[in-house]
Amino acid sequence: MEQIKTVQSLDTHIAECTKVLHAKLKGEGGKRAIVVCGGTGCIANNSVDIQAEIEKELKAHGLEDKVTVNHVGCFGFCSQGPFVKIFPEDTLYRAVKVSDVKQIIEKDIIGGEICENLLYVDPQTHEKVAKQDDINFYKKQVRIALHGCSLINPDLLEEALGYDGFKGLKRAITQMTPQEVIDEVLASGIRGRGGGGFPTGRKWQFAANVQADQKYVVCNGDEGDPGAFMDRSILEGNPFEVIEGMMIAGYAFGASEGYFYVRAEYPVAVSRLQRAIEDMEKVGLLGDHILGTDFSFRAHIRLGAGAFVCGEETALLNSIEGQRGMPRPRPPFPAIKGLWGKPTCVNNVETLSQIPFILREGASAFNCIGTEGSKGTKVFALGGKVNNVGLVEVPMGTTLRTLVYDIGGGIPGNKAFKAIQTGGPSGGCLTEKDLDTPIDYDTLVARGSMMGSGGAIVMDEDNCMVDIAHFYMDFIVDESCGKCSPCRIGTKRLFEMLTAITEGKGTEKTLEDMKELATVIKNGSLCALGQTAANPILSTMTNFPEEYEAHVKEKKCPAHVCKNLMQYQILPEKCMGCTLCARNCPVSCIAPTADPVTVKPLPNKFVHAIDQSKCIKCGSCMAGCHFGAIIKK
């Protein structure tokens, strides 16, 4: 590609690339285009092989010149992947296997017929849906952060340019003063998407007000909330958008260097980001005098090394500086004294990904979406016990019901909805009664949870809430950096108390002690990790007091999860005496009794029984029994 060093050349490139991309998607010149999902989820389901097979088949049929094929970022509907989409018809095939490729090429590409068996089937109406936009999962979504994801080739600068790329940057750096950019971002009402929800414009203003020879923008791509993958998908799907947002931030408060801090667990995101940066450097979109202005900017990548606390902004700065990732006391705030002592703004990936839209379309296009206190859209990673697991971007103020039922398609296996956890290990759970609450920063806090970065894990009747709290506390104990003793020691004690409860050794006093200790930890911790560490416990205790009571008083786990408080039992009236469970049991604790089976009496068929004293509660027997004769009690 030629250099893009003036506004004029950017305009020419944008016009040309837009035309080319449009022609590709609309099938001009009789051409067709196939895109294959190249997100981490679909790659794990062989999408790379699928793409190779498509290329091979096209070649075999002499179609390489008539049909293009490339990978795109995450479609969001990960539970239905891998996806293959055909343009210009806009046909979406899901759960594609390598063995389906022949059919797609021969029937659809050559024969012009849709492969019905590969279409999404609406679980309610049982109708087949051919187009993405007609699928319920997508209907209520509004894509700002996910702009271009699953549409453009994330490894091609040309496609980013053809899909609104760098229009926001151009407006900012060639038509506006830095203060005007800050004012526009302030007016948009955008708040940080990384957890705290602090107004982004205000943060930039602080840094802008400080005089310094060097300032930094840091993009927080640590995404530590386990079970959340918004930032990863944005980086994988449209890295250019995030770089553009970072550059606009740099222009606004006077930074000429930017650092991306990305989890090492995200190799695909890192390599796409790396490539995007290199390609932008090559054409001059990163470097000195961008678009012929006085604005210069360079971007770098730093990898995390598996420490959750490094998502906290001051710990992150320490980590970039090559130290242990321990939080720093604030003040001074990073905006005043951050990376290497210089004014620094740390912004989340999703926050930065929405900045180009605000500059391109104007603040009012953003703040007309959302609620009073929370503007724009939010990406959620919907996971756990919900039919449509995936990434969804919805306007702020969408209700949980819409999220879980309309978009998420409800709970699998007709189980009952129990709770949804937002805010990860710092958050809390929301229940049935909260389903119609419009979700935004403030309503979630009012209900005892928080927005967090957007992880939303659905739980059903089979999940034990004490066990969930135990799980989060285990996580926190692992991840506490150890600097403050209330966090380091206190969370360990909380974990031990929860362990005691799940083992049937807890008492009512344990519950009271936990509440008291929670307050101590909250007040005595330096960073939000410790300050919020007890939230999952407090929130489950508030919402599910009866479950805790059952554990401590009756020594029962109502959901039959806690191993010490449950048993596997064979129902004599259902057992067929097939011996399968006895053969599968790893500790050989199942044996036939002397009782003949009653269901279908046959000679030599005896009802089986479990020796509870030896059972290790692995569940193999129950999973294997074909007659539903084994239950948890």
Q: Which is nearer to ligand SF4, 1 or 616 (CB)?
A: 616
CA–CA distance, 555 with 549 (Å, rounded to integer) = 8
Per partner kind, with CB cut-offs from 5 to 8 A, the member of ligand FES, ligand SF4, ligand FMN, none near residue 226 is ligand FES
Strand bridging mode 120-121 / 84-87: unpaired
CB of 618 to ligand SF4, least distance (A): 4
In the block, tokens 């003793």 appear at: 485
Cα-to-chain-centroid distance, residue 242: 16
Among 316, 459, 497, 630, binds other proteins (CB under 8 A): 459
- Based on the shown chain and the rule CB under 8 A, indicate whether residue 137 belongs to the binding site for other proteins: no
How does DSSP classify residue 562? S
- Based on the shown chain and the rule CB under 6 A, indicate whether residue 468 belongs to the binding site for ligand SF4: no
- Which residues within the stretch 563-582 sit at the binding site for ligand SF4 (CB under 6 A)? 568, 570, 575-581
Cα-to-chain-centroid distance, residue 413: 23
Q: Which is nearer to ligand FES, 227 or 438 (CB)?
A: 227
Give the containing element (helix H, strand E) for 318: helix 313-320
Phi/psi region, residue 526 (left: phi>0; alpha: psi -120 to 50; beta: rest), is alpha
- Based on the shown chain and the rule CB under 6 A, indicate whether residue 356 belongs to the binding site for ligand FMN: no
In the block, tokens 């678009």 appear at: 291
CA–CA distance, 108 with 91 (Å, rounded to integer) = 10
Q: What does 236-286 look like in DSSP terms, one character per residue?
A: HH-HHHHHHHHHHHHHHHT--EEEEEE-TT-HHHHHHHHHHHHHHHHHTSS
Nearest to 19 by CA among 158, 157, 155, 146: 158
Cβ-based neighbour number of residue 365 at 10 Å: 14
- Based on the shown chain and the rule CB under 6 A, indicate whether residue 239 belongs to the binding site for ligand FMN: no
Q: Which is nearer to ligand FES, 27 or 227 (CB)?
A: 227
Per partner kind, with CB cut-offs from 5 to 8 A, the member of ligand FMN, ligand SF4, other proteins, none near residue 347 is ligand FMN
CB of 94 to ligand FMN, least distance (A): 30
Q: Which is nearer to other proteins, 198 or 471 (CB)?
A: 471
Cβ-based neighbour number of residue 328 at 10 Å: 19
Phi/psi region, residue 507 (left: phi>0; alpha: psi -120 to 50; beta: rest), is beta
- Between CA 176 and CA 206, with CA 234 as vertex, the angle to 5 degrees is 40
How does DSSP classify residue 374? S
Site string for ligand FMN, 403-442 (x = CB under 6 A): ----------------------------------------
Q: Which is nearer to other proteins, 79 or 188 (CB)?
A: 79
CB of 587 to ligand SF4, least distance (A): 5
Site residues for ligand FES per CB under 6 A: 226-227
- Based on the shown chain and the rule CB under 8 A, indicate whether residue 385 belongs to the binding site for other proteins: yes
Per this entry, what is the length of the chain? 633
In the block, tokens 């005896």 appear at: 606
Own/partner long-range contacts of 203-207 (Cβ < 8 Å, ≥24 apart): 203/335, 203/345, 203/347, 204/249, 204/252, 204/253, 204/345, 205/253, 206/333, 206/335, 206/336, 207/253, 207/254, 207/255, 207/335, 207/336, 207/343, 207/344, 207/345
Site string for ligand FMN, 512-551 (x = CB under 6 A): ---------------xxx----------------------
Among 136, 141, 188, 220, binds ligand FMN (CB under 6 A): 220
- Based on the shown chain and the rule CB under 6 A, indicate whether residue 198 belongs to the binding site for ligand FMN: yes
The residue sitting closest to ligand SF4, measured at its beta carbon, is 530
- Based on the shown chain and the rule CB under 6 A, indicate whether residue 312 belongs to the binding site for ligand FMN: yes
Footprint of ligand FMN (CB under 6 A): 192-196, 198, 200, 220, 222-224, 309, 311-313, 346-348, 351, 453, 527-529
Footprint of ligand SF4 (CB under 6 A): 309, 326-327, 480-484, 487-488, 525-527, 529-530, 568, 570, 575-581, 584-587, 589-590, 608, 610, 615-621, 625, 627, 629-630
Footprint of other proteins (CB under 8 A): 40-41, 43-45, 78-79, 81, 224-229, 232, 264-267, 302-308, 319-325, 340, 381, 383-385, 389-390, 421, 424, 455, 457, 459, 463, 468, 471-472, 475, 481, 586, 616, 618-620, 623-624
